Structure 1
Amino acid sequence: MMKLRLKLFFSLIVLFYSLLAAQQNPSFKIKDGQFLLNGKPVEIRSGEMHYPRVPKEYWKHRLMMMKAMGLNAVASYVFWNYHEETPGKWDWSGQKDLKAFIKTAKEVGLYVILRPGPYICGEWEFGGYPWWLQNVKGLKIREDNEPFLSANKKYLTELYNQVKDLQITKGGPIIMVQAENEFGLFAYQRKDISDESHQSYLNKIVKQIKDVGFDVPMYTSDVTDFFSGGHVEDALPGGNGEKDINKLKMVVNQYNNNKGPYMIAEFYPGWLTHWGEGFPRTRTEDIVKLTKDFLSKGISFNYYMIHGGTNFGFTSGANYNKEHDILPDLTSYDYDAPISEAGWRTPKYDSLRMVLAKYTKEKLPDVPAAVKVIRINNIRFKNLYNAFSYAQTQEKVKAEKPLTFEELDQGYGYVLYQHHFDEAIKGKLDVSGLRDFATVYVNGRKIGELNRFYNSYTLPVDIPKNSDLQILVENWGRINYDAQINQNTKGIISPVKINDQNITGIWEMTKLPFPDRFSSNIKAKPLSQQEYPTLKDVPAIYQGEFDLQEAGDTFIDMQNWGKGLVFINGKNLGRFWKVGPQQTLYIPGVWMKQGKNEIIIFDQLNGRVQSSVNTLDKPILNDLTR
């Protein structure tokens, strides 16, 4: 009897220390066809949210909303070009503090799925790649190419040094890392590259991820029809957008030793939107039904997006389309997601929460209250500037041909191209190399618009003797999806012609990057009120101030404006364009303050002079005017 008691005692001691070790050394593994969290089977119920698209001050609020919905993980891309804007200069601070984002997720009680790419797509400028990679001699992105692989290794090393202690193996919340992104689809699109070369590239990316130190399970994310080109050994294949559970299981089994676990790596509760097309809506009842199916059959999933946020500044990308040549993405990344752009719970959120609550053991937390919303009426403008006058104060470059943004060492914004004609000329102006939108002037007088979206590259010109042709070009965002991602230089990328003859001689290019923190320190003379009528159809800069008793979220109403940018206290809210469907821009309340605030609007089209602007308490995201 004594021996039996001692045996039981020591068994309890072993069990106690085993449980203690499990608590002190948490683990996440893919084993025996299951996800195992601390040795116990678990299903992933994740939502996608991107730290650059949500003000840092709101991260915790949005993550708490995810937790209150019944999710147990958050997934996020890592945005290489967000952290290395110029070669070798890394920024992981403030809004770019990925480490703080991950720690906040842990604080809220969510695990983290990291998606470092290097290619992310995500309707993000250049699919996450730094624009300046295109200036590196011999470099080809997404190919088995030494200059690219060398740059990528540096990126992954920098990333790992930021998050290495936040892996679950070190007590952090990161449970999985994705290898590349939808590479099978890309391999299918790039038939000009051999399957062997594609696989060699993919294997080297995976090896780099492992070599820098990541030691949590790895997975891939692809449309199930293209698993063959995107699968790598020892990585769980995850299906994107798959609704057929039997098909998902069949394809995963084919590439994962005939077993699970099974995961929808991107489960779409909404969809993306481009300028010039209607805002798509995804039926709540369809998403609820699919969610019920996945939960009842043990399928893990990641809602893409659970909360989209905003493409602030110049971060929105574009898709390629043969009909339109380019499909630029909206500033709003609302995505018709369960949590709206401004962080509001939606009927879709409430419906999904009710379903998830039935599959969650513990009671769900209360849903956090929404951030206060305000309206600001009659914001008056103090100063108006002719943008051509502003351009006179900016850096200029002269060359024998139009130079691209990349050749000018400029990533984003606008470039003013100018050529002087000693003799008169008349005929058809052809800017087939336009990337992407331009307004055209002769001696500062507008004669037309050119537009890559509408395949509009020509217009008639009548240029007098001793006159200047001016072409103000906007970079709309580099292509983030399709094989055309490899052809992504901006500005004017080929000779400008009149009557099919190249314009020869000197071009003067003025760089207009409109950097973040753009403020009232505009080095140009404001116009007098008597000069205001001269601004019609001339690109203009409006500057004003407004006082607030209390800050709050709001939406600036741009329905009466043309095309351009809005800055609040130096923060670039993003692009607006009168064609819609987006007619408002989201202003986070945390970017304003009690007391005096500044607003600057750049309008490239400027059909008529504006005296004021208002904000609304609701966004307008589905109003097409063309």
Structure 2
Amino acid sequence: MLPRLCLWLLLLAATAFGVGGTKVAYNDRALVIDGERRIIISGSIHYPRSTPEMWPDLIRKAKEGGLDAIETYVFWNGHEPRRRQYNFEGNYDIVRFFKEVQDAGMYAILRIGPYICGEWNYGGLPAWLRDISGMQFRMHNHPFESEMETFTTLIVDKLKAANMFAGQGGPIILSQIENEYGNIMGKLNNNESASEYIHWCAAMANKQNVGVPWIMCQQDDDVPHGILNTCNGFYCHDWFPKRTDIPKMWTENWTGWFKAWDKPDFHRSAEDVAFSVAMFFQKRGSLQNYYMYHGGTNFGRTSGGPYITTSYDYDAPLDEYGNIRQPKYGHLKDLHNILKSMEKILLHGDYKDTTMGNNNVTMTKYTLDNTTSACFISNKHDDKDVNVTLEDGVTHVVPAWSVSILPDCKTVAYNSAKIKTQTSVMVKRPEDGSTQSLTWSWMPENLQPFMTDEKGNFRKNELLEQITTSGDQSDYLWYRTSFEHKGEGSYKLHVNTTGHELYAFVNGKLVGRHHSPNGGFVFQMETPVQVHDGKNYISLLSATIGLKNYGALFEMMPAGIVGGPVKLVDPATNTTTYDLSNSSWAYKSGLIGEHREAHLDKAGQQWRSLNGTIPVNRPFTWYKATFDAPAGSEPVVADLLGLGKGVAWINGNNLGRYWPSYTAADMGGCRQCDYRGTFKAEGDGLKCLTGCNEPSQRFYHVPRSFLKAGVENTVVLFEEAGGDPTRVDFHTVAVGAACAEAAEVGDQVALACSHGRTISSVDVASLGVARGKCGAYEGGCESKAALAAFEAACVGKESCTVRHADDFRAAAGCDSRVLTVQATC
């Protein structure tokens, strides 16, 4: 028995100390995993922005796209919405998410923060922190550091218990503490406290003993001991860590940009993203993470920063619904394959940069053991191609704003500006505009109890700040007061607010409504009002649309009618007659429908219907209808065009805020798009925007897991502003047209549909510049031979590959050898 017992104890000890796990170290060139230097290509997929049912498919597509790792933030206010009340269920099941990553055979990067920015409400920090005495966010003070350490330890312990760290055999190879603190340190008006805080963060993180390196992004100055600093941005090729003993890592390569209610859609071209990645690895990069690889959806009211739309698509390689976005996905996949084939020489070889006659043109040659070489040639000119002649006498044409990669320093295997993968045009079906016949019922939001100041949670003789008063448990906070007046009178009601929206009622009548422009968050409402003899009541409903999430001292930016003033102004003299700012105000957070959970369609709700007719364009109204889930497996979207502003639920699941009545601004970037040149998301020089003068967001993701097959599904709307729900409909989203180009004879041309759909026709096979764009090519210089080859290989198939052949010929005068193909799914 003793030998068996000893063996059992040895095995138990080995398990406890992670023997058999993965060892993660680093040197100046790369992360070193189990003794091997590794190039790591990673992508951000945020678990709360999708559903557990979506995770395996998203992770699988990421791996097939050439990624090694999945990166995610940890969302403190989602996990701890109330102090010491935790949520690790559903799409907040972080352990399940990392197990899915592990099951896929991928690594993981854990960004605890717990401040994350991320266009997430309050930057991920819980609003209840504001209730703690002496609290200063992200500064060296005990209240904040105590709460931060408590949460960080909770997450680490939970993941340790599940053996999720690399040394335990798990997928996590890096952990991050804090986030982009270097961007704000100098703006906090207390350099000593900021420095003490960031060094405390490092010490606290290192004592967690997770067994993998800790990183801090954008912490270029005052880098604490034991921390690896990294870069974030659209381009990081010219960035290097100040320490010479750590690798060059890029934790956020922004694949696009987030969208706000008043902004159109930002698009960063596949060519430019590939250019940035190729430049980064040309300049000794080792780890690169796409932010985002799948953007997802801001489900629920607690997600999404100020004025951020429900969609967080981010123009990522996997779109909001989880579909592959082509050509971005495929073009980057090709790049990943080339880089991985060069991994050893890039991480072990000697390197030499040579300027090729101009600072904008650089050739970098990596050499290993004086026998093997690999080359990058980059052209940073945004307006001209260049010819580069190498030592062997061969001249290579490098297009403007591109990088050519020659794994043998002889043959170009990849150029960032030359896309050889298909372009997919996504369509929403049904495409004929037909709609389901939904039968609606309705229920008014009961405003009557709020039309006086007689009931409330409490009273104060001042106008309070909304976040601390409501604890951010609702978008809405009621401010109510009363005053005595002799006789009748006419005034202007003046309200100064730092809220995002304001509704004003006098004696039960809606007299005014207004919202702030995005980024302003300070506005004045002035509206004419009539008062009567005796007691008059003023009820103000302040609403937020997500809380600020970025900037120095962002948490101190107030919301609501804090301080006011609120006053009645004589319209004739423009002087204040009544200043109500210090009157007795009654406060109540939320709406009655919220408290009664009308979105869950519980028994006893007073829904109304009169022969199928409902009132439309009526503010503060709840609507309900049932519908059949669309057949198949394609992603589902709700088309909410016609609605005003509010919130939508499907079978009790919160889709997020909607606001299709808000039209995106007309910006110059909608009228120009060229992949060449620096991409920007702010300031002058914007480009490649779409959706100007259109609803900021019209389509809302309905995950399949929210739906029930074979039985009726329920949609509930809270229409705050007033809209027409009878126009609501449901669609599926999939590839409609697939297009590809082949510049040279011998190139393989691949086409694919999605979700089991097959190619129904080949519409264009042209040798020349086809007119129009993918999905609407008009052809020209058609090749009958090419068309026949593609029809034979592709029609009726989910995917096909055809080689561009020399016998593909077009009519006389069509001398281009560029083959353009378009197929319909």
TM (norm. structure 2) is 0.65
Letter in 1 for 2:297: T
Q: Structure 1 residue aligned with 2:261, among 264, 268, 275?
A: 275
SS in structure 2 at match of 1:359: helix
Would you say the 8 A contact 1:383–1:526 is kept in 2? yes
Letter in 2 for 1:98: I
* 1:604-615 matches, cutoff 5 A: 604-607=720-723, 609-615=724-730
Would you say the 8 A contact 1:46–1:72 is kept in 2? yes
Cα shift at 1:576: 1.1
* 1:170-181 matches, cutoff 5 A: 170-181=168-179
Instruction: Name 2:348's counterpart in structure 1.
Output: none
d(CA) in 1 for partners of 2:442, 2:448: 11
d(CA) in 2 for partners of 1:154, 1:360: 40
SS in structure 2 at match of 1:149: helix
Instruction: Name 1:83's counterpart in structure 2.
Output: 79
Instruction: Name 1:339's counterpart in structure 2.
Output: 318
Percentage of pairs with the same residue: 26
SS in structure 1 at match of 2:332: helix
Which deviates more, 139-148 or 26-35? 26-35
* 1:178-257 matches, cutoff 5 A: 178-190=176-188, 192-194=189-191, 196-222=192-218, 227-229=220-222, 231-241=223-233, 243=235, 245=237, 247-249=238-240, 252=241, 254=242, 256=243
Instruction: Name 1:547's counterpart in structure 2.
Output: 628
Cα shift at 1:443: 4.3
Which deviates more, 456-465 or 121-130? 456-465
Q: Structure 1 residue aligned with 2:588, among 497, 509, 512?
A: 509
Q: Deviations along 1:50-91, whole A, 9 cap, x unmatched? A: 000011110010011110000101111001111111111112
Instruction: Name 2:351's counterpart in structure 1.
Output: none
Letter in 1 for 2:220: F
SS in structure 2 at match of 1:559: coil
- Aligned residues: CA RMSD: 3.1
Would you say the 8 A contact 2:206–2:214 is kept in 1? no
Judged with a 3 Å threshold, the aligned counterparts in structure 2 of structure 1 residues 396 and 308 are, in CA distance, closer, same or farther, namely same
d(CA) in 2 for partners of 1:339, 1:555: 16
d(CA) in 1 for partners of 2:585, 2:263: 39
Letter in 1 for 2:276: L
Would you say the 8 A contact 1:402–1:509 is kept in 2? no
SS in structure 2 at match of 1:101: helix
1:378 and 2:457 are equivalent in the alignment: no
Letter in 2 for 1:248: W
Q: Structure 1 residue aligned with 2:708, among 576, 585, 593?
A: 593
SS in structure 1 at match of 2:206: helix
Judged with a 3 Å threshold, the aligned counterparts in structure 2 of structure 1 residues 531 and 483 are, in CA distance, closer, same or farther, namely farther
SS in structure 2 at match of 1:358: helix
d(CA) in 1 for partners of 2:311, 2:297: 5
d(CA) in 2 for partners of 1:58, 1:417: 42
1:463 and 2:527 are equivalent in the alignment: no
Equivalences, count: 572
Would you say the 8 A contact 1:48–1:305 is kept in 2? yes
Cα shift at 1:591: 0.5
Cα shift at 1:264: 1.2
Would you say the 8 A contact 1:550–1:593 is kept in 2? no
Would you say the 8 A contact 2:295–2:312 is kept in 1? yes
1:348 and 2:334 are equivalent in the alignment: no
Would you say the 8 A contact 1:311–1:331 is kept in 2? yes
Q: Structure 1 residue aligned with 2:491, among 427, 430, 447?
A: 427
SS in structure 1 at match of 2:505: strand
Judged with a 3 Å threshold, the aligned counterparts in structure 2 of structure 1 residues 551 and 130 are, in CA distance, closer, same or farther, namely farther
Would you say the 8 A contact 1:242–1:264 is kept in 2? no
Letter in 2 for 1:427: Y
Instruction: Name 1:448's counterpart in structure 2.
Output: 512
Would you say the 8 A contact 2:440–2:613 is kept in 1? no
Would you say the 8 A contact 1:306–1:339 is kept in 2? yes
Judged with a 3 Å threshold, the aligned counterparts in structure 2 of structure 1 residues 168 and 510 are, in CA distance, closer, same or farther, namely closer
Would you say the 8 A contact 2:505–2:512 is kept in 1? yes
Would you say the 8 A contact 2:426–2:733 is kept in 1? no
SS in structure 1 at match of 2:96: helix
Q: Deviations along 1:544-590, whole A, 9 cap, x unmatched? A: 11233747532212221111100001111011112142122111111
1:28 and 2:92 are equivalent in the alignment: no
Letter in 2 for 1:240: N
Would you say the 8 A contact 1:446–1:538 is kept in 2? no
Q: Structure 1 residue aligned with 2:112, among 88, 111, 116?
A: 116
1:399 and 2:386 are equivalent in the alignment: no
Cα shift at 1:115: 0.4
* 1:519-534 matches, cutoff 5 A: 519-521=600-602, 525-527=606-608, 529=610
Q: Deviations along 1:478-514, whole A, 9 cap, x unmatched? A: 1100124122554432235123522423435252384
Name structure 1 gaps, 5 residues minimum. 1-20, 319-326, 620-626
Judged with a 3 Å threshold, the aligned counterparts in structure 2 of structure 1 residues 149 and 473 are, in CA distance, closer, same or farther, namely same
Q: Structure 1 residue aligned with 2:731, among 598, 616, 626?
A: 616
Judged with a 3 Å threshold, the aligned counterparts in structure 2 of structure 1 residues 155 and 379 are, in CA distance, closer, same or farther, namely farther
Cα shift at 1:39: 0.2
1:58 and 2:54 are equivalent in the alignment: yes
SS in structure 1 at match of 2:549: strand
Q: Structure 2 residue aligned with 1:107, among 103, 125, 136?
A: 103
Q: Deviations along 1:402-445, whole A, 9 cap, x unmatched? A: 54343244523323333345435543333323422122233444
Q: Deviations along 1:316-373, whole A, 9 cap, x unmatched? A: 343xxxxxxxx521111000111100011112111111221223359xxxx9x99998
d(CA) in 2 for partners of 1:371, 1:162: 40
Q: Structure 2 residue aligned with 1:412, among 454, 457, 474?
A: 474
- Determine which structure has more spread, i.e. the larger CA radius of gyration: 2
Instruction: Name 1:563's counterpart in structure 2.
Output: 645
1:581 and 2:692 are equivalent in the alignment: no
SS in structure 1 at match of 2:443: strand
Judged with a 3 Å threshold, the aligned counterparts in structure 2 of structure 1 residues 92 and 370 are, in CA distance, closer, same or farther, namely farther
Which deviates more, 284-293 or 59-68? 284-293
Instruction: Name 1:387's counterpart in structure 2.
Output: 445
Letter in 2 for 1:187: M
Cα shift at 1:290: 1.8
SS in structure 1 at match of 2:478: strand
Judged with a 3 Å threshold, the aligned counterparts in structure 2 of structure 1 residues 464 and 239 are, in CA distance, closer, same or farther, namely same
Would you say the 8 A contact 1:241–1:266 is kept in 2? yes
TM (norm. structure 1) is 0.84
Instruction: Name 2:338's counterpart in structure 1.
Output: 358
Q: Deviations along 1:376-406, whole A, 9 cap, x unmatched? A: 933534321221359779x942413454343
Letter in 2 for 1:182: E
Judged with a 3 Å threshold, the aligned counterparts in structure 2 of structure 1 residues 348 and 120 are, in CA distance, closer, same or farther, namely same
Q: Deviations along 1:100-122, whole A, 9 cap, x unmatched? A: 11111011121011100021000
Cα shift at 1:543: 1.2
Cα shift at 1:198: 0.9
Which deviates more, 494-503 or 196-205? 494-503
SS in structure 2 at match of 1:407: helix
d(CA) in 1 for partners of 2:610, 2:645: 23
d(CA) in 1 for partners of 2:214, 2:479: 47
d(CA) in 2 for partners of 1:420, 1:602: 29
d(CA) in 2 for partners of 1:517, 1:211: 47
Would you say the 8 A contact 1:338–1:348 is kept in 2? yes
Letter in 1 for 2:135: L
Would you say the 8 A contact 2:215–2:230 is kept in 1? yes
Cα shift at 1:33: 3.9
Judged with a 3 Å threshold, the aligned counterparts in structure 2 of structure 1 residues 72 and 206 are, in CA distance, closer, same or farther, namely same
Larger RCO (CA within 8 A; separation ≥ 6):
1
Instruction: Name 2:564's counterpart in structure 1.
Output: 495
Would you say the 8 A contact 2:440–2:726 is kept in 1? no
Instruction: Name 2:297's counterpart in structure 1.
Output: 310
